[in-house]
A and B are shown apart, each in its own frame.
Chain A
């Protein structure tokens, strides 16, 4: 199984994205080591991120998308750990580095914005003090410089710098998320990893934040890995999309292409799962059932049980990633030579 992702077809398809890669994730697997056995939450995931690129990762709860982010940022804590693969960031493999070595990368070149800003920000210190701590930890000692940069990044995300003196509870949910993003911008990183930063927000605040992230990205040129369970959210913002299911990559391709013609039945299911506010009201079904238990994954395709297009072979054959017109898809319907759906 472990060699399937790096087979010729997939490797060839990846190569086309290679020019100027900033982040290379190769055959990354993450295990949770539990009393009752090992759960492989992320299995053989490979993908690249180019400078300035916006990559969306979508999937249901428990598909491994957050675990994958934590693995990339080297933030996993026991019982989770990377069991195989590499994460190469600007030419350096981050897997196995010590905390001290990692701190030369974290915040400076790679920063992380978590799902819940209320929990990620320290509730008992002012925003400005938290900015100061991050800057001091990375060797910025001058008070003026800290004050200047803190005000600068807050302005960048559209918050009045007077809020450097505010505590997290004095800000609205949208402002807290903006403050988190401002903090991630302190050292103008090359890569910002975001884990559902808008999930606690209203639609209006959510759209505004997404537009802001995109504007900052265009202005400063950093790359983004953006995890969400809502495909419609990243439709207009991401360059490429990775759909995960049960710890594996189900489909990987350009956002435009995936929305135009999803290859994996799971991707089609996700796209048809949300109602629209325009057009006729049509009955939807969603995706019945729930993802498999990864402590005891099924043989064959992991989506087979819920798949509307399941075939007998799906239940027994381990499905590799196939390359179809530059996209990768893990589905026997796209086996080489079998053509399209």
Chain B
């Protein structure tokens, strides 16, 4: 996000990000005629994801985090802005070869393991199909071997047996592993994981989080981990991006952000995480967690309605992300004024 020109030219060099976005926005039109309004799901987002990096994108429902995943997966087209993958703008990907190539470089793992796998086929079906489509050079035998390799890599062993199962024979955690195996079969560079563990039991979530870390360490895959669970983000991610109402509120190395949260919203999120090892924090009980207004938003900080520290400028000017500590940015007028932020 620093020097955009040089970054594009040196694409492919290791310290350039794998993927980055430039003022990425996605708006949805709702209503019709005189009632027409615009919902700003994602507004002017600049994010970057490095090689071998797990980036957690955290925020509440409606903050725009899933919209970002869908933009990156090319399910949605941006309203404005651009996504660069390995330095190339996605809007220049027009041929089928480019599209297929991008889809195999950046696959997605979905939230619901119960509806994202076709129930009438054995689980080998999905893996085999994507191998056939994305890696046509493989022979039937090689496809088989490759399917077994990825199933073993995600912890579904013995792979030969697991491949023959039907989805209904697998638990939620195992199905989600099948989702990761399918993604892995394409030899991806970046996996978009949209709330991959939120439908799973607490007791098996950790296994999936460990799997993501293992894919990063052993296969060199980057992961965009979308979640509303800050504790799991801390457990697995290298960097944390906190979103609020379609904007980035704060971003930085995960430990740094959690130790020194600069944005009042990050502080609110942290205060609400149930922590059985600590006493109950009820200082913020007046905040009901109501979703933000992102329909035809007026300028100003979108968190101002809930922020106990809001000052005049928050109502008139939208705060920009500013670096407040090494690689730690926050979009908060109060924090940027140098005052200490202790909202929750």
Contact = CB atoms under 8 A, between A and B. Distances in A.
Contacts of A288: 207
B38 interface: no
Interface string B291-327: 1000000000000000000000000000000000000
Interface residues of B, number: 44
B269 A203 contact: yes
Nearest to B274: A232
Contact of B204 (A230, A271, A278, A290): A290
Nearest to A266: B203
A207 B275 contact: no
B203 A202 contact: no
Interface residues of A, number: 42
B71 to A, nearest CB: 22
Contacts, number: 128
Interface string A190-211: 0000000000011111111001
B273 A203 contact: yes
A229 interface: yes
A231 B276 contact: yes
B201 A172 contact: no
Contacts of B209: 275
Interface string A251-289: 000000001000000000111011111110101111110
Nearest to B207: A286
Nearest to A236: B280
Interface string B227-256: 011111011000000000000000000010
Contact of A286 (B206, B230, B287): B206
Main secondary structure of the interface of A (DSSP, over half): loop
A203 B229 contact: yes
Contacts of B276: 231-232, 235, 259, 271
Contacts of B275: 232, 276-278
Given A232-B274, A278-B277, A205 B202 contact: no
Contacts of A233: 274
A179 to B, nearest CB: 13
Contacts of A230: 202, 274
B307 to A, nearest CB: 13
Contacts of B152: none
A124 B286 CA distance: 31
Interface in A285-309: 285-288, 290
Nearest to B235: A275
Contacts of B202: 60, 229-231, 270, 273-274
A277 B258 contact: yes
Contacts of A204: 60, 268-269, 272, 284, 287-289
A61 interface: yes
A311 to B, nearest CB: 22
A201 B277 CA distance: 22
B137 to A, nearest CB: 37
Contacts of A52: none
B231 A277 contact: yes
Contacts of A208: 272, 285, 287-289
A274 B200 CA distance: 12
Give 7 nearest A-B pairs by CB, closest first: A205-B289, A286-B206, A204-B289, A275-B235, A236-B280, A235-B276, A202-B60
28 contacts: A61-B201, A158-B288, A201-B289, A202-B228, A203-B228, A203-B274, A204-B284, A204-B287, A204-B289, A206-B289, A207-B272, A207-B284, A211-B285, A229-B201, A230-B274, A233-B274, A235-B276, A236-B279, A270-B202, A273-B206, A274-B205, A277-B231, A277-B275, A279-B277, A281-B235, A281-B255, A285-B206, A286-B206
Given A274-B205, A290-B173, 5 more contacts: A174-B288, A202-B61, A273-B206, A275-B232, A286-B204
Interface of B: 60-61, 171-174, 201-207, 209-210, 228-232, 234-235, 255, 258, 268-270, 272-280, 282, 284-285, 287-291
